[in-house]
Chains A and B, each alone.
Chain A
Amino acid sequence: EAGVTQFPSHSVIEKGQTVTLRCDPISGHDNLYWYRRVMGKEIKFLLHFVKESKQDESGMPNNRFLAERTGGTYSTLKVQPAELEDSGVYFCASSQPRLGADSGANVLTFGAGSRLTVL
């Protein structure tokens, strides 16, 4: 089974430019998450898709960040315009839908991450 795939693995851009990160979740995983780790800080939640719908985007830092998941398959995260503080590693994760209201949260499988460096 293919895992969660992220592209690019590393992107170096200048402040003010645009970058689009892509995530291909495990096939059949309805839940797709974006997380971010900036230098020296813990991994922080950005948003959660269930299929193509945004379930929770409370972690998105500001309106320079736009996530989409058209068709409920792969997802993109666009940063426009990028700022220095956006540098970090962006992780995508996916999980299967829960079996029911009483079942535990499903285990997330993470992609290798996209490292973003804004100069």
Chain B
Amino acid sequence: RKEVEQDPGPFNVPEGATVAFNCTYSNSASQSFFWYRQDCRKEPKLLMSVYSSGNEDGRFTAQLNRASQYISLLIRDSKLSDSATYLCVVNKGGTSYDKVIFGPGTSLSVIP
């Protein structure tokens, strides 16, 4: 089993749609969780950290369920500019606390 797994995608949605991405992680010692966004041929950039209580940043909402080892990202009112690959990132925890592991990514295309 991979350490971080994500919805395989791709997701093709019309502008204005709501889309949700799911991610699961295998290491119960993980403590820090992030969503990164990667545009084509660019570097990953932090979209948002994910907190235990859930957090929202404009149209983006992240949720964490530690019991199920599950993270989600909800994008409301999708824009064309949201088209990118969304990467679920989790720190390994334990003795490798500062090492982060990337999921394979979920591709999103927002269509006019």
Chain A residues within 8 Å of B, Cβ to Cβ:
31, 33, 35, 41-45, 48, 50, 55-56, 58, 91, 95, 98, 104-113
| Seed contacts A105-B91, A111-B43, A113-B42; 20 additional CB < 8 Å A-B pairs | A31-B98, A33-B99, A33-B100, A44-B102, A45-B99, A45-B102, A48-B98, A55-B98, A56-B96, A58-B96, A91-B44, A95-B98, A104-B49, A105-B32, A105-B97, A107-B46, A108-B46, A110-B43, A110-B44, A110-B45
Contact status B102-A42, CB under 8 Å = yes
Instruction: Tell me, in angstroms, the Cα distance from A106 to B42 when the chains sit together.
Output: 21
Is B86 interfacial (CB 8 A cutoff)? no
> Which residues from 31 to 79 on chain B have a C-beta closer than 8 Å to any C-beta of chain A?
31-32, 34, 42-46, 49
**Measured between C-beta atoms, what is the minimum distance from A60 to chain B in Å?**
13
B31 touches A56 (CB 8 A): no
Chain B contributes a number of interface residues (CB within 8 A of A) equal to 21
How far apart sit A8 and B32, CA to CA, in the bound complex (Å)?
31
B interface secondary structure, majority:
strand
A44–B45 Cα distance when bound, in Å, is 16
On chain B, the residues within 8 Å of A95 by CB distance are 98
Known interface pairs A31-B98, A43-B87, A44-B102; A112-B46 also in contact (CB < 8 Å): no
CB distance from B30 to the nearest CB of A (A): 9
B101 at the interface (CB under 8 A from A): yes
Chain B stretch 80-107: residues in CB contact (< 8 A) with chain A: 87, 91, 96-105
